[in-house]
Structure 1
Amino acid sequence: MSDREAGAGTPELSVVVYGRNVQGHLAESLAALADHADTAPAVEVVVAAVGDSARQAAERHPYATLVALPDGTPDGAARAAGADRATGRWLQFAHSKDSVPALAARAVAERTAGLDGAGVDVLLTDHVRSTWRHARMPSRDGGFLAKPGRRDVSLTDCPDLLKVTPLLGTHVVRADFWRSRQQEGLATDDELFTAYALLLTAGRIAALDQVALEDRRLRAESLPPVTADGHFALLDTYERLLRLAAERDAGPGPRSVLYAAMVAASLRTVARAPLPEDTAREFFARAARAAVDFRPPGYRRPGGQEGMRRRLLEENAYARYRAFQAVNQRRRKVLSAARGSRRTVGRKVRDLQYHQDLKRPVDPDLAVFSAYWDRGVACNPAAVAAKLAELAPHIHRVWIVSADNVPLLPPGTDHVVPGSRRYWRVLATAKYLVNNANFPNAVLKRPDAVHLQTHHGTPLKRMGLDQLDYPAAAKGLNFHDLLARVDRWDYSVSSNSHSTQMWQRAYQSRYVELDHGYPRNDVYYTATAADVRAVRERLGIPPGRRALLYAPTHRDYEATWTPRLDLAALADRLGEDTVLLVRGHYFYGGAASPLAGLRRAGRVIDVSTYDPVEDLALAADALITDYSSIMFDYANLDRPVVIYADDWETYAKTRGVYFDLPSEAPGPVARTQDELTEILATEAWRDGTAAKARAAFRRRFCEFDDGRAAERVVRRVFLGEPEEALPPVTPLDERTPAPTPEEATR
């Protein structure tokens, strides 16, 4: 329908598709949006079609409002024409080559509906990227989008939002705000400028960690080549943005982020763009002036080669920069020529440096931490590190963190990136090495170093050597290498006798067992009512709502994670008073979420990227899980747990398990969605039978967790206190878990 029926109401969101029919992609874009046709008047689709091909493609979709524009209409003008015709309270722009994934617009509309009247001007969303070779590759924006949670923030409070990929299609804008920016001349043909300018001038910004755009990157060879003027225009754009940031008093954080982006783009242009020598020199000089003129007060260059490049740029040392570049290019060519032996050569160099460092004295005041294969500050290692800072602040803490996760680190965290020179040096010289997984095979155990294995869960599924008979779970695991890694352990932390026994069987070596409890579970006894209220507020859970945390685990027999529940149906059946917090297993943290479209404002919230998970547990009135070890941790809170074991037999057969969960569960067990819904829709989830099962489960699996586990571990391992001098484990009946959400509101 080209015109909406009178009285249908004002749409919440207008999706403005604009531009010419580039490579025929407009038909795909509109086909994806057809799924939103039944959501009117919540979502309307406006197509600002440039040229006959685009117009004809749009005419085949009766749900769309067509704005026909002549060939040659610039993108900025097409966007403006579409926005003028749009009637929604919020606007999302999608170029005709891109698309809005199925159900995404509905989810965005539901989110924006909750922002009306809150003073929010921009809602930032996530995206996936497709090329001619690969489809729907996830972005790296999720971590930045997760930082505000459900809160709206100012750019000064959260400057990292400027690190979100500057795609206009992921910047959903309030219509009145957009029109005011148009009047100020900030909505231009330059998408990069417009995307950044919207954030710089917004009063408040909200984030939705949800894929709302598929950014289709066209093959470079199919596009007109970028001219020298185009490269200079990029520099002009960043200079305009930095001036705008200064005019708007954006603060040092946003200005530093923009400045770093400008310098990186300038150096990338000099290094990669095929510019004539005189043009390249001119561009370098222009970029050098900008690097000096716009450098924010107190800005510090990064270290290493990147820092050297930036220093040469600021000094306008073009000849030295080219020499530096040539040296690096020759080095890369040598490495490329020796591709067949590159790994061997690199390993020899690394080994030589590492063995030299192993001859250095051990630093008694240095501790190295890693969690979940270098994901960041998390889990038991994080709790140990926090307590170490309190009880032994003289011990310096360094975290091993993969390059992709460095931007997510808490401010001031000393860290090293795997494979770097300092990485091998700290591994060679640290007195203490703490991990909840394992360090690489190449790490050698020094006699005077201490390796602390914290683990990251209570085992229901088979682990270590017990996986020998389960090839689907082992997946080529080299058990000889595994045992060599285990032989480095000095201590192994346990939260209950069951775990202690299973670790002894699965990881057979001479380490000392620390039956001290899991440090990460201390918070379940130390958190206050204010803490519970605060995390629920961050997640956007209204007071008085029942929050159910759904946290399934990984299946070795599945290639990707797919929710085993119809979450939309479950949410509808449980009613408006229930909020579902849905967390996918971390194995799939880098994949595009299959929950796109189900994140409804205040009803279903995807918390797959939210850390720490302990916050989610504190916020939840009850847990729904299958075979995840989160059930053992959550039981410390003495809140209801419901097991959804729809594929128990398959899981037990392919993965191997240590006990029969359905008969020893911490609460009611459902085998179908109907059974689960019935449990949650009645009092069965928290009745006397459920409480009895939970009490037995807690006695067995919450044995050592009492809120002082981290203290015991630090005193025993780092301070050398004897076992008998440590704080004793408080009996289960004498412990007081953190307040429930209901108690926290009293």
Structure 2
Amino acid sequence: MTHSTAFSVSVSVIVTARDAQGHLRECLDSILRQEGQTGHFAPVLDVIGVDNASTDATAAIFDEYADRDERVKVIHLPHRLTAGEARDTGVQQANGGYLLFLDGRDILLPGAPAALARRVAEAGEPDVVLFDHVRAHWSNPAIPSGDAKHFQELGRDAFGLAAHPEVLQVTASLANRLVRTGFYRDHLDLFTNDDYEPALPGIGSLLVAERIAIHDAICVRVREPEATAPEGHLTLFPQYERLWELLERPSFTAEHRLLVFNSQIQRYLKVLTLPGLSERDQAEFFRAAAQHFRRFRPVGYTRPANLNGVRHSMLERGSFSGYRALQAANRRRRGLRTVAVKAKQVLGEKARDGAYRELMRLPLEEDLAVFSAYWDRGLACSPAAISVKLAELAPNIRQLWVVRRANVPLVPPGIDYIVPGTRRYWLAMARAKYFVNNVNFPDTILKRPGQIHVQTHHGTPLKRMGVDQIPFPATSRGENYEALLERCARWDFSVSANQHSTETWQRAYPVPFTSLDYGYPRNDVFYSASAEDVLRVRERLGIAPGRKAVLYCPTHRDYEAEWTPRLDLERLAARLGDDFVLLVRGHYFYDRGLSPLEDLHRRGVIIDVSTYDSVEELCLASDALITDYSSVMFDYANLDRPIVVFADDWETYSVTRGVYFDLTTTSPGAVARSQDEVEELFASGAWCDEAAAADRAAFRRKFCEFDDGNAAERVVRHVFLNERGLGEKGVPPIVPVDQRTPAPTPDKAAALGPLDG
């Protein structure tokens, strides 16, 4: 393999990832799409992807990139290794003269590899090149590292640590440096014996490097991990013990030791503040940290004068009880509340007469499931499909639907329901084992240990969702994202229809949950409906036999206060002629006030189906779909019927609302940018020609990936029956797209004969 002589310095990028499917594509794209990098004419010689025994689609994403770019090699680890061990498996396959280490959630900024290669050549191939970085949190994608101040006045020449001990204050990480491959191999023990945090390689590589260079530009965006203390925090102690062995060398001064000691204690104290440690584990960590404090306290150490000095004092004395008392006092002083105190306050403010608090003391009802959809509108969407299948497979589980008072008259006979705010409602919310919703339950609902929440969502995302909306304030202004993530943190399971959704939900809602890649239960009907079902719905809607029914479903636009159809429906109906009938469904966000469809419906120009309960039945009854950016297109594609995308304001919508992909190039069918083009598509037959069918087939493979008619059964077996395998003793395996048979089209249904009776 060769590369351009313009770059005598070659770089291998080691990307280690575990369960990083929500960010891995962006990471790999940032490496492989560097400006000016075509083929191998670039400093990035190869990319080694290390899948550290992921349980999600991380491995498949790595393989996908390796299949289409020969620079990418992939290593699949059969079981989880420590961070250092995982990185080293990648280094063993690397061919570059320098190594760049990224996590699968990090981003390499444009131009960084070329700039670093030039810096290496300029500095005479140093052992380590330190560069600046930014940290990414869901609330802020570019948090300064704080390292820039340590890079000042260091010049362009390579140096040793003896000359500039202040460099030890740079963030101890491997994501902020380029490491010479030979240097890495000469000091293998420093790079392979870390986990949780890379204190040993981050600091140790600077202690042993003979020549260090600085590149004072930001090269990487590092995504912050969750602020928890998972297994592995105890590995900090042997890492620092090894560092102190290095610091015994006579070349290091008291200043070097003081800098390492202060950062060491700061890191220990940080761990003690993180959620995720039990009191017993916290006490164990505190005792070990106190021992290290006394063992490694260097000559010249002075206690900080601020509150940190008090914490240092507690560690030095080994007083865990004093440290806990300080924590409690500090919380009170700053007005912070523990989770328990906060929960009591919420209950006191929100629950009527304190009843909810008392009811939560009662034992859980293991056989009770609460369902809701669309903010308590009634039986609908995937929760309704799960409800039906649950009654079939587990009739012993009682079901309650949350229904707002105004919609109670619409509840079908035989369905048990509860109205928000009633005592029976609070009782159910306090004691039910299972909760299923396609949106979030309100803030007033607190999740008890043992309760299980299933989030089904209500569409495949084209538009940006969750925290991915933050860069688009025109449509997300006023959103309290902290509160949103608190609601999402109740999810145990998130139901997904395709890998695109799975990755998006993980990134858009950065809270822990298990993705159920089982398909959307509401779409099961697209495979189970019979010809008789199709004809019955058409008859109910008043669609005359032989007429082509075109369903028009526009989506909500955040920048429009009221809805006015973007298509001139009367003109379109006239152009289509008597062989067609338009079914028009306005978005449910515009369900108040006078509908612009009322007059057209009264005059027989269209059929207004905005208040028709089941969108799925409307899809079954139609011969084709016209939509703009509504998620109904992803569901409708299951039927393998023509779809026309009307994207007259795509540029405005995509810029103001934010989207995940370009619908005009990844489309389920023909795309029209004006009313004239819509009418021409139908006049010419292009709405249903071979090109449109080919686009639809590709779209179905990508976005109908898990939908095969068995989604509800999979969810019920996994969540309610605890059946997690495949086959007879578990969930049904997913049928490949090309082996599925959708419900018959209206034409095929009519050919099978009229309805009986």
* 2:500 counterpart residue number: 498
Contact 2:463-2:659 within 8 A present in 1 as well: yes
Q: 1:726 aligns with which of 717, 725, 731?
A: 731
CA contact (8 A) 1:541 1:602 kept: no
Q: What SS does the aligned partner of 2:626 have? A: strand
Query: Paired residue for 1:535?
Result: 537
Q: 1:374 aligns with which of 367, 376, 397?
A: 376
Secondary structure at the aligned position of 2:601 is classed as coil
Query: For 1:131-188, what per-residue CA distance to the aligned partner results, in whole angstroms no more than 9, with x for missing partners?
Result: xxxxxxxxxxxxxxxxxxxxxxxxxxxxxxxxxxxxxxxxxxxxxxxxxxxxxxxxxx
Structure 1 match to 2:691:
689
Q: Residue type matched to 1:728 in 2?
A: P
1:166-565 to 2 correspondences below 5 Å: 347=349, 350=352, 352-565=354-567
Counterpart CA distance in 1 for 2:568 and 2:510 is 42
1:512-564 CA distances to partner (integer Å, 9 max, x unpaired)? 00000000000000000000000000000011000000000000000011100
Counterpart amino acid of 2:749? A
Counterparts of 1:649-688 in structure 2 under 5 Å? 649-688=651-690
The number of aligned residues is 404
Offset, 1:682: 2.1
**1:681 Cα shift?**
1.8
* CA distances 1:40-90 after superposition (whole Å, capped 9, x unpaired): xxxxxxxxxxxxxxxxxxxxxxxxxxxxxxxxxxxxxxxxxxxxxxxxxxx
CA change 1:451–1:545 in 2 (3 A) is same
- Structure 2 distance, partners of 1:345, 1:579, is 53
Hey, which bits of structure 1, 4+ residues long, moved more than 2 A? 343-351, 600-603
Conserved 8 A contact 1:384-1:714: yes
Name the structure 2 match of 1:572.
574
Deviations 1:345-384 (A, max 9, x none): 9836527211111111110111001100111100000000
Larger relative contact order, structure 1 or 2 (CA cutoff 8 Å, min sep 6): 1
Match of 2:708 among 701, 706, 709: 706
> Could you report, residue by residue, the CA deviation over 1:699-746 in whole angstroms, capped at 9, with x for unpaired residues?
000000000000000000001101332100001111000000000011
The secondary structure found in structure 1 opposite 2:633 is helix
CA distance in 2 between partners of 1:405 and 1:710 (Å)? 25
Counterpart amino acid of residue 402 in structure 2 = I
Rg larger in structure: 2
Q: Deviations over 1:658-716 (max 9, x none)?
A: 00000111101001100000101221000000000000000000000000000000000
How much does 1:412 deviate? 2.0
Contact 2:564 2:596 in 1 (8 A): yes
d(CA) in 2 for partners of 1:468, 1:344? 27
Deviation at 1:613, TM superposition (A): 0.5
Cα distance in 1 between the residues matched to 2:353 and 2:564: 42
Q: Any idea what the Cα deviations from partners look like across 1:100-154, whole Å, max 9, x if unmatched?
A: xxxxxxxxxxxxxxxxxxxxxxxxxxxxxxxxxxxxxxxxxxxxxxxxxxxxxxx
| Corresponding residue SS for 1:745 | helix
Q: CA deviation at 1:475?
A: 3.6
**Contact 1:379 1:520 (C-alpha < 8 Å) held by counterparts:** yes
1:667 and 1:582 map into 2 onto residues whose CA distance is 19
1:62 maps to none
TM-score (norm 1): 0.53
Deviation at 1:401, TM superposition (A): 0.8
Task: Indicate yes or no: 2:617 matched with 1:615.
Answer: yes
Counterpart amino acid of residue 750 in structure 2: T
Matches of 2:623 and 2:486 in 1, distance apart?
43
CA offset digits 1:201-252 (Å, max 9, x no partner)? xxxxxxxxxxxxxxxxxxxxxxxxxxxxxxxxxxxxxxxxxxxxxxxxxxxx
Say which SS state the counterpart of residue 610 (structure 1) adopts.
Answer: coil
**TM-score normalised by L of structure 2:** 0.52
Q: Which runs of 5+ in 2 are unaligned?
A: 1-344, 752-757
Equivalent AA in structure 2 for residue 727 of structure 1: P
Q: Secondary structure at the match of 1:398?
A: strand
- SS of aligned partner of 2:712: helix
2:741 is aligned with 1:741: no
SS, match of residue 685 in structure 1: helix
Asked if structure 2 preserves the Cα contact closer than 8 Å seen for 1:366 and 1:395, the reply is yes
**CA distance, structure 2, for counterparts of residue 459 and residue 378 of structure 1:** 19
The alpha-carbon deviation at position 611 of structure 1 amounts to 1.1
- After superposition, the C-alpha distances for 1:584-619 in whole angstroms (9 at most, x for unaligned) are 001112332111211156641000000100000000
For 2:630, the aligned partner's letter is S
CA distance in 1, matches of 2:514, 2:624: 35
SS, match of residue 385 in structure 1:
helix
CA 1:672/1:349 → structure 2, altered by over 3 Å: closer, same or farther?
closer
Cα RMSD between the aligned structures?
1.5
1:354 partner SS = helix
Distance 1:344 1:737, change over 3 A: closer
Partner of 2:392, secondary structure, is helix
Alpha-carbon distance in structure 2 between the residues aligned to 1:643 and 1:600: 27
What is the rounded CA distance, in whole Å, between the counterparts of 1:425 and 1:656 in structure 2? 40
Structure 2 counterparts to residues 64-213 of structure 1, below 5 A: none
The structural deviation recorded for 1:394 is: 1.0
Check whether the contact 1:579–1:602 (CA below 8 A) recurs between aligned residues: no
Residues 453, 492 of structure 2: 8 Å contact kept: yes
Alpha-carbon contact 2:346-2:444 (below 8 Å) kept: no
Distance 2:434 2:539 in 1: 38
- The superposition leaves residues 392-439 of structure 1 with CA deviations (integer Å, 9 ceiling, x where unpaired) of 111111111111111111112211111111111101100000110001
**Aligned 8 A contact 1:493 1:518 in 2:** yes
Counterpart AA for 1:664: T
Q: In the alignment, residue 713 of structure 2 is paired with which amino acid?
A: E
Distance apart, 1:443 and its partner CA: 1.1
Paired residue secondary structure (1:432): strand
Q: How far apart are residue 344 of structure 1 and its match?
A: 9.9
> Counterpart amino acid of 1:460?
L
Q: Is the 8 A contact 1:540 1:602 kept in 2?
A: no
Q: Which amino acid aligns with 1:416?
A: I
Determine if contact 2:454/2:491 at 8 Å carries over to the other structure.
yes
Map 1:23-38 onto structure 2 (within 5 A): none
**Equivalent position of 1:598 in the other structure:** 600
Give, in whole Å, the separation in 2 of the partners of 1:591 and 1:694.
Answer: 36
Q: Is the Cα contact below 8 Å between 1:576 and 1:603 reproduced in 2?
A: no
Q: Does structure 1 retain, via aligned residues, the 8 Å contact 2:570–2:605?
A: no
Distance 1:397 1:569 in 2: 47
Distance change (3 Å), C-alpha of 1:358 and 1:743: same
